Amino acid sequence: MTAANAEVHRHLQNWHDWAHHTLILTGPEGSGKTAMAAAFEAESGGLCLDDAAEYEDTEIFHLWNRANGEHKPLLLLSSKPVSEWEIMLPDLKSRLAASLHLEIGAPDQAMIDGLFQKFFAIRGLTISEDALRYLEKRMVRSYAMVRQLAQKMDALAIESKKPINLAIAKSALGFFDADDEKVDI
């Protein structure tokens, strides 16, 4: 947990305080929604629906009624804001509007560092501090960019048979900068 998602964690731990016992959590892919939901389910015994925007109104409505009937909190996850869910049932629309809404914003530097370290630790690798400091000043701050850079650095490290160091970070970031320049032409 970092400052980037501290408010979300606080609300997930205080689910007893949720309006209508429902929280709608939105944020970009890779921002940790699913991992937070798993921890929430284990701690609260509540119900979760991942990619809620992709479900039919009636499915969400039945889950809402089930959660209320069983006196359990309900966590709805989506990469889309509720305004883009295309909800047609008036009763569901009003219930969702009255629920607590939280959005996971862009990652802060501590989150970016942690995500890189986690990505490489899973592969039995590390990323050097100078590589992290280089990237922090130059990369786009998004969960998608962290994932793309990590994958590119991993591929470059395998190709060159070298650890994830400053040279690998520069090469990986240069790859994305070159792509950006191609798009602008």
* Helix (H), strand (E), coil (C) string for 56-96: CHHHHHHHHHHHHHCCCCEEEEECCCHHHCCCCCHHHHHHH
To the nearest whole percent, how much of the chain has pLDDT over 70? 96
* CA-closest candidate to residue 100, choices 3, 22, 13, 14: 22
**What average pLDDT score do residues 99-107 get?**
93
As a whole number of angstroms, the distance between CA 113 and CA 115 comes to 6
**What are the structural domains, with CATH classification, of the chain?**
6-103 (3.40.50.300), 109-184 (1.10.8)
Each residue's pLDDT tens digit, 162-180? 999 999 999 999 988 755 5
Longest Cα separation, the chain: 58
Question: Across all residues in the chain, what is the average pLDDT?
Answer: 91
Secondary structure, 3-state, 131-150: HHHHHHHHCCCCHHHHHHHH
pLDDT band at 184 (very low <50, low <70, confident <90, very high): very low
Note the pTM of the prediction, 2 decimals.
0.83
**pLDDT value, residue 2:** 85
User: In the structure encoding, which two tokens stand for residue 46, read together?
Assistant: 């509540």
Query: What is the structure's pLDDT at 181?
Result: 41
